[in-house]
Amino acid sequence: MTDQQHIEALDRIERKLDQLLGIQQPDTPTTEEVRDLQARVDRFGVQVNARLDEVTALIERPEPDGQADR
């Protein structure tokens, strides 16, 4: 087991003990939940950047002759 796996296991044990003892702890996301959220944020960032590139290309595209006065 890696150090990270030990930490995660201890966190799960602590949460279970708190639950059994009726101690309310603020909900803290697990490492897996944080990684999942980070992956979702990264995918969203890629989508936003791609859309921004499309918009930038449209803005920077030269106007066809006779269309500049519109």
pLDDT, averaged per 10 consecutive residues of the chain (70 residues), comes to 88 86 77 92 94 92 68
Q: Tokens standing for 62? A: 């030269």
Q: What does pTM read for this prediction?
A: 0.47
Give the per-residue pLDDT at 4: 87
The candidate with the shortest Cα–Cα distance to 31, out of 62, 64, 51, 2, is 2
User: Tokens 């002759």 sit at which residue?
Assistant: 65
